[in-house]
Structure 1
Amino acid sequence: MAPIELLLIGVLAIEGAFGRLNSRQPSGYTPHRIVGGADVPPGEHVPYQVSLQYQTRNGQMHFCGGSIIAPNRILTAAHCCQGLNASRMSVVAGIRSLQEIGSRSKVLSFTIHPDYKELVTSDLSVLYIDPPLEFDNTTIGAIDLQSNYVGGGVPVTLTGWGLRLWVPFPYLDDVNYPNVLQRMSYHTITNQECRNAGMDSVTDTEVCARGPFRGACSGDSGGPLVMRTDEGLKQVGIVSYGLVVCGLFISPDVYTRVSTFTEWIVGHLEF
């Protein structure tokens, strides 16, 4: 199977079990979500996590994740923005469930990395939002960026509003797509291990992670992969792409490597 961006699994293998057309997503895309995760417990918060939502005829719809890097800046994947109308996009912060109101800000515009090539490199974008988010560092707060190279065998954690199953089975959306934020932990692997596992085009601008029957899948796109350091949590990666069937042990997830782009990201924190 060929790798695909986590936002785009819907139209492949329509007659098989590897994907489906999904009316939840803008522009005919399928949102990517977590396999093998568990609900973030009541009373706990992931203050840096946001839901990217798109205005449709049926209302606001979650389609990607993102992370707060400043009161008026959100970090996400380039493929979550490419071809979309910023005026129909918004972000919601401070929520555990997609049914909560939270703090909503409009997306004024976004900047996609100039070197972005689909499934190749530089899959990141910075959103400019208004009004700025009000930090309380409990329910809403920024995540620090990991500036040092991360190798294999490092424990990492992914959060997102995720698909519970390996593929989105038709007519089971209420089971497939939980409203509660999901959290899942596994380990990074080296880029060579990632290539050996079938992700032939992985470059040094990306970092891979893998674990048994778990991983990013259909709404997680653009979301934050974090690690714990002596200085606290830091964002290591941005959900980019994987295989059509999510959560297979042999199938790594590919993330944009934040440390490669720290200077570019920081350069977009100010007007």
Structure 2
Amino acid sequence: MGLTEQLLLIGVVALGGVFGRLNCKFELESVTQNPLVTDVYVKARQPSGYTPHRIVGGADIPPGEHVPYQVSLQYRTRGGQMHFCGGSIIAPNRILTAAHCCQGLNASRMSVVAGIRGLNEKGSRSQVLSYSIHPKYQELVTSDLAVLSIKPPLKLNNSTISAIEYRSQGKDFVGGGVPVTLTGWGLRLPVPFPFLDNVNYPNVLQRMSYHTISNSECRNAGMESVTDTEICARGPFRGACSGDSGGPLIMESKNGLQQVGIVSYGLVVCGLYISPDVYTRVSTFSDWIGNQTKS
């Protein structure tokens, strides 16, 4: 799918059941040898558990191609910078992501990297100065979104680094059957296989397409608490997984690409057709997002 000059952000991925960072703390000082350890998708409190994940059923972004609005959120540890969530550029100094990605974390140890295809690339790094979590955020319930303030501002070039427009209130409601695309550096297998980090955790940004489903269908498929502030999507053997949280769900409209969702939550075993992925519906919160870019 080609990029157009006008990018419209329509959503941020939200997954549960759960692969969102549920009641977990980042004990990154003692973490691992795996440089790709990221956010945790767990069913219960596991303060020292880390399951880095990637998109299930996706494919590498081809060499020479970029997803200019996609960023990697990274956390500074004794072992270096570690990717833990995704995000999207909505202004030169603002990043949209999931609330569960940053709640309780020290902003001074967070940064974002833009303009990269592989996590081993240098790209353009900016420090997170602060983050604003939506005041009505409740984990696995509603309002799973946050806006990061960063410095220095990113230098947008419409090629490798570019802001995406997010879908606003008043636009047509995104219901079921809409083709959508997800990108991220999360787990690409339904569950991680021991001792196979190169298989579990590819370095290259992944891309995957599937379709939204209606919220009533989503509730019937087991996500009973889903509300109209969220979007559901699913496909056979494909979906978001841990490490994809906070990343953008994109749809293509007559005006170009639009972000409609933010990755929020889903089942621990990712990519099961019977289990939808749940995303924060960006249009519901467009006024709040806009206010965060003005401050």
Flag whether TM exceeds 0.5 (same fold).
yes
Which residue of 264, 268, 271 maps to 2:288? 264
- What number of residue pairs does the alignment pair up? 260
Superposed displacement of residue 7, structure 1: 3.3
What whole-Å deviation, never above 9, does each CA across 1:43-68 have from its counterpart, x for those lacking one? 11100000000001100000000000
- Scaled by the length of structure 2, the TM-score of the pair is 0.85
Structure 1 residue 152 displacement after superposition = 0.5
**1:248 and 2:272 correspond:** yes
**Aligned partner (choices 21, 24, 32) of residue 7 of structure 1:** 21
Residue in 2 that maps onto 1:84: 105
Describe the superposition over 1:162-189 as per-residue Cα deviations: whole angstroms up to 9, x where unpaired: 3121001222112100010000000000
1:140 to 161, 168, 178: 161
Question: Residue in 1 aligned with 2:204?
Answer: 180
CA contact (8 A) 2:22 2:100 kept: no
Counterpart code for 1:161: W
Alpha-carbon RMSD across the aligned residues, in angstroms, is: 1.7
CA shift, 1:31, in A, is 3.9
Cα offset, 1:33, TM superposition: 2.2
Residue 18 (structure 1) aligns with: none
Residue 8 of structure 1 deviates from its aligned partner by: 4.8
User: 1:123 is matched by which residue type in structure 2?
Assistant: D
Kindly state the Cα deviation for residue 30 of structure 1 after the two structures are TM-superposed.
3.3
Aligned partner of 1:198: which letter? G
1:33, 1:217 within 8 Å by CA — same for their partners in 2?
yes
> Given residue 6 of structure 1, which amino acid in structure 2 is its aligned partner?
G
Distance 1:10 1:214 in 2: 25
Contact 2:265 2:278 in 1 (8 A): yes
CA distance in 1, matches of 2:135, 2:196: 39
* Alignment pair present for 1:61 and 2:82: yes
Q: Which amino acid aligns with 2:152?
A: P
Match of 1:93 in 2: 114
* TM-superposition CA deviations, 1:141-198 (whole Å, max 9, x none): 0011112220100000000013121001222112100010000000000000000100
> What TM-score, normalized to structure 1?
0.92
- Classify the secondary structure of the residue corresponding to 1:166: coil
Instruction: Tell me what 2:235 maps to.
Output: 211
Give the structure 1 partner of residue 72 of structure 2.
51
1:9/1:42 CA distance change after superposition, 3 Å: farther
Unaligned runs of 5+ in 1: 12-21
Q: Does 1:36 align with 2:60?
A: no
Label 1:86 to 1:169 Cα distance change in 2 as closer, same or farther (>3 A).
Answer: same
Are 1:33 and 1:221, in contact at CA under 8 Å, matched by a contact in 2? Answer: no
Choose from 257, 264, 270 the match for 1:233. 257
**Does structure 1 conserve the Cα–Cα contact (< 8 Å) formed by 2:38 and 2:53?**
no
User: Cα offset for 1:35?
Assistant: 0.3
Q: Deviations over 1:20-47 (max 9, x none)?
A: xx84247645344210000000111100
Counterpart-to-counterpart distance in 2, 1:34 and 1:121: 23
Give the Å deviation of 1:215: 0.1
Query: Relative contact order (C-alpha < 8 Å, sep 6+): which is higher?
Result: 2
Give matches, 1:187-202, under 5 Å: 187-202=211-226
Q: Does 1:156 align with 2:180?
A: yes
* 1:18-29 mapped onto 2 (5 Å cutoff): 23=32, 24-25=37-38, 28=48, 29=50
